[in-house]
Structure 1
Amino acid sequence: MHKIIKRPTDVDAFNKLGPWVLICGRRKTGKTFFVREFLDWDEYFFVKRGGRSLLDGEGRELSYPTFLEVFRRDFPEKCFAIDEFQRLPDDFSDLLHSMGMRGRLIAVTSALSFSKKMLEGSSPLLGLFSVLKLGLVDERDILLGLSRELKGRELIEASVYLREPWLVPRFRGRMKEFLPSFLYEQRGAIKALLGEIFTEEERELSLVYQGILEAVAMGKRVSTEISSHLYSLGLLPKDNPGAIQRYLEVLVETNLLEKTPVYGSKKFRYQHASPLLDLHFYLEGKYSYTETEIPEQFIGEVVQQKLPVHVEEFFSSLLSKLLGLRRVAVEEPPLDIALFEFKRLKVVGEVKWGKVEKEELQRIGERLRKFDAERYLIVPEDGIELEGVKVLDVPAILEILKSGYPKEV
Structure 2
Amino acid sequence: MRLHLRRREEKKIASIKNWTLIYGRRKTGKTTLVKSALKYDTYIIIGDVNNAITQSDEIVRIEKALEEVKRTLKNGGIAVIDEFQRLPEIYWSLIASWAPSGILVAIGSSYGIVNKVFDRNSPLLGIFTPLEIGLISYEDVLSQLNDPVLSVLYRDPWIIPFIESYDELKKRIKEFSLVAKGLIGEVFKEEERQLTDLYYKILLTLGEGVWRSKEIAGIVQREEPTITSMINKLAKMGLVSKILTLGKENYYKVSSPPLSLILYAESKYMVSERDALIEELPIGREVQFSIGEMLAKYFGGQLYYSPKEDIDVVIVRKKKPIWAFEIKMGEITKSEALNSIKRMSKVSERVGFVSLKEKPNDYGDLNLGPKELMQIAKELSS
Which category describes the TM-score, using the shorter chain as reference length? over 0.9
1:170 aligns with 2:162: yes
Measure how far apart 1:331 and its partner are. 2.7
Equivalent-residue separation in structure 2 for 1:175 and 1:343 (angstroms): 36
1:2 aligns with 2:17: no
> Which of these residues, 314, 318, 340, is aligned with residue 316 of structure 2?
340
Secondary structure, aligned partner of 2:194: coil
Equivalent-residue separation in structure 1 for 2:44 and 2:107 (angstroms): 10
Q: C-alpha deviations, 1:3-46, integer Å up to 9, x for none?
A: 21111x22344467661111112221112111111222121111
1:374 aligns with 2:355: no
Residue 41 of structure 2 corresponds to which residue in structure 1?
Answer: 42
- Counterparts in 2 of 1:167-206, with a 5 A limit? 167-172=159-164, 174-176=165-167, 178-206=168-196
1:274 aligns with 2:256: yes
Amino acid at match of 2:263: F
Measure how far apart 1:397 and its partner are. 1.8
On the 8 A contact 1:46/1:55 being kept in 2, the answer is yes
1:144 aligns with 2:143: yes
Residue 70 of structure 2 corresponds to which residue in structure 1?
Answer: 72
1:241 aligns with 2:221: no
Residue 92 of structure 1 corresponds to which residue in structure 2?
Answer: 91
> Which of these residues, 243, 253, 256, is aligned with residue 260 of structure 1?
243
On the 8 A contact 1:222/1:270 being kept in 2, the answer is yes
Equivalent-residue separation in structure 1 for 2:173 and 2:220 (angstroms): 25
Higher mean displacement: 312-321 or 63-72: 63-72
Measure how far apart 1:345 and its partner are. 0.9
On the 8 A contact 2:176/2:262 being kept in 1, the answer is no
Q: C-alpha deviations, 1:90-110, integer Å up to 9, x for none?
A: 342111222333321111111
Measure how far apart 1:230 and its partner are. 1.7
Equivalent-residue separation in structure 2 for 1:341 and 1:332 (angstroms): 20
1:53 aligns with 2:73: no
On the 8 A contact 1:322/1:405 being kept in 2, the answer is no
1:321 aligns with 2:297: yes
Residue 31 of structure 2 corresponds to which residue in structure 1?
Answer: 32
Equivalent-residue separation in structure 2 for 1:221 and 1:73 (angstroms): 51
Residue 274 of structure 2 corresponds to which residue in structure 1?
Answer: 293
1:62 aligns with 2:60: yes
What's the Cα RMSD here? 2.1
Relative to 1, partners in 2 of residues 1:207 and 1:346: Cα closer, same or farther, differing over 3 Å? same
Residue 116 of structure 1 corresponds to which residue in structure 2?
Answer: 115
Secondary structure, aligned partner of 1:62: strand
Secondary structure, aligned partner of 1:26: coil
On the 8 A contact 1:80/1:105 being kept in 2, the answer is yes
1:105 aligns with 2:104: yes
Measure how far apart 1:383 and its partner are. 4.9
Percentage of identical aligned residues = 28
Equivalent-residue separation in structure 1 for 2:230 and 2:172 (angstroms): 29
Equivalent-residue separation in structure 1 for 2:349 and 2:12 (angstroms): 30
Measure how far apart 1:402 and its partner are. 2.5
Q: C-alpha deviations, 1:311-365, integer Å up to 9, x for none?
A: 1111111111222211122133111101111121111101011233332222123
1:214 aligns with 2:204: yes
Amino acid at match of 2:201: G
On the 8 A contact 1:17/1:130 being kept in 2, the answer is no
Measure how far apart 1:278 and its partner are. 1.2
Equivalent-residue separation in structure 1 for 2:219 and 2:227 (angstroms): 12
Amino acid at match of 1:170: F
Relative to 1, partners in 2 of residues 1:339 and 1:85: Cα closer, same or farther, differing over 3 Å? same
Secondary structure, aligned partner of 1:27: coil
Structure 2 gaps, min length 5: none
Relative to 1, partners in 2 of residues 1:281 and 1:403: Cα closer, same or farther, differing over 3 Å? closer
On the 8 A contact 2:19/2:129 being kept in 1, the answer is yes
Secondary structure, aligned partner of 1:210: helix
Measure how far apart 1:141 and its partner are. 0.9
Relative to 1, partners in 2 of residues 1:307 and 1:59: Cα closer, same or farther, differing over 3 Å? same
- Counterparts in 2 of 1:384-395, with a 5 A limit? 384-395=360-371
On the 8 A contact 1:18/1:130 being kept in 2, the answer is no
Measure how far apart 1:293 and its partner are. 1.0
Secondary structure, aligned partner of 1:220: coil
Amino acid at match of 2:310: P
Residue 403 of structure 1 corresponds to which residue in structure 2?
Answer: 379
**Count of aligned residue pairs for this structure pair:** 381
Measure how far apart 1:271 and its partner are. 0.8
